[in-house]
Amino acid sequence: MPLCVAVLLAGASFGCGGKEESGKSASQVAVKVNKEEISVHQINDLLARGGRIPQDQLKNATAAAVERLINQELLVQQAKDGKLDRDPRVLQMIEFSRREILARAYGERLVSTTPRPTDAQVSAFYDANPAMFAKRRIYSLQEINITASPKQFEEIRTRLQSGGSLQQIMDWLKGKDIQFVANTAVKAAEQLPSEALKNLANMNPGQAFATRTPAGAVIVSIAGVREEPIDRARAKPAIENHLLSQARNEKMQQELKRLRESAVIEYVGDFAPPPADGTAAPAQDQQAAPEEKPKSKEDAFRSAIEQGATNLRR
């Protein structure tokens, strides 16, 4: 937002390009609160954080931003009067925020030059994921979320393979005193985990499968299904955003790998990470944290495509 626009909309009585007063240009000051100043730059920054503002709402948004900054300044002044700016816990929070901001700023600058995916890359991704696009389906599902041990999961899967309706399976679970919750859901392909989607892609209404969950297991049965494909043109924006996000993430991971390899990292005492195989490792080998297992491309894509799916299928 141009500087003059923000100043005028804030209801200030000064113009851009004013003369210096007490070492500061008058046009930089929007409000004074008990001798402390709130600048136009602060207002512009707060407005920018809210995203694009329609022109007809700009005046009200600016006024609201000014009042918010006034309230903030009043509370800051009270905090300083109470010497909270010297409180160890507050200082620790400020330092944590400073580190977060610096790390994020470096990361954003690092990935800012990542090129957008080409049309060929977008097209290849579309062709490689027919269940998401060309052969996309909407599923009406019946789910039984079960609290169970790994041993019970094998027993549940065996019982499912023996056949019977979901009601019969629920009666069996009750007889085994296994806790469960049954519900129904309508989900598009992009809303499903990759393992579930692979199972459902070749199934027909009435069929069911069981899969592990952190709490135990879930049995999923198809009550109904309908085809609802997304063509290449409509899928393009979501795919582009996903591929760009993926490329940026890979660039960040490469940079972190480079920095870790060139740094001297020494874990002290019990803070050393456990080895991947679970066995005790010599102290000299405990120099770097084990790399987190990356998500599959299908799972990484779901969060991005799910956000745009509602608009795509309308």
Instruction: Kindly state whether residues 20 and 92 are assigned to the same domain.
Output: no
Instruction: Kindly state whether residues 79 and 94 are assigned to the same domain.
Output: no
Instruction: Kindly state whether residues 264 and 150 are assigned to the same domain.
Output: no
Among the listed ranges 54-68, 154-168, 221-235, which one has the minimum average pLDDT value?
154-168
Domain holding 161, by residue range, is 137-227
pLDDT category at 163 given cuts 50, 70, 90 is: confident
Instruction: Kindly state whether residues 186 and 314 are assigned to the same domain.
Output: no
Query: Do the domain assignments include residue 149?
Result: yes
Last residue of a domain, one of 169, 197, 227: 227
Domain total of the chain:
3
pLDDT above 90 as % of the chain? 53
Instruction: Kindly state whether residues 48 and 80 are assigned to the same domain.
Output: yes
* Inter-residue contact 79 to 85 (CB < 8 Å): yes
Q: What is the CATH number of the domain that holds 147?
A: 3.10.50
Instruction: Kindly state whether residues 222 and 237 are assigned to the same domain.
Output: no
Instruction: Kindly state whether residues 111 and 157 are assigned to the same domain.
Output: no
Instruction: Kindly state whether residues 123 and 44 are assigned to the same domain.
Output: no
Among the listed ranges 148-162, 216-230, 280-294, which one has the minimum average pLDDT value?
280-294
pLDDT category at 123 given cuts 50, 70, 90 is: very high
Instruction: Kindly state whether residues 258 and 279 are assigned to the same domain.
Output: yes
Instruction: Kindly state whether residues 71 and 110 are assigned to the same domain.
Output: no
pLDDT category at 9 given cuts 50, 70, 90 is: very low
Instruction: Kindly state whether residues 243 and 163 are assigned to the same domain.
Output: no
Query: Do the domain assignments include residue 132?
Result: no
Among the listed ranges 116-125, 182-191, 266-275, 295-304, which one has the minimum average pLDDT value?
295-304
pTM, rounded to two decimals: 0.63
Average pLDDT over residues 136-147: 92
How many residues make up the chain in this entry? 314
Average pLDDT over residues 111-138: 94
Instruction: Kindly state whether residues 235 and 119 are assigned to the same domain.
Output: yes
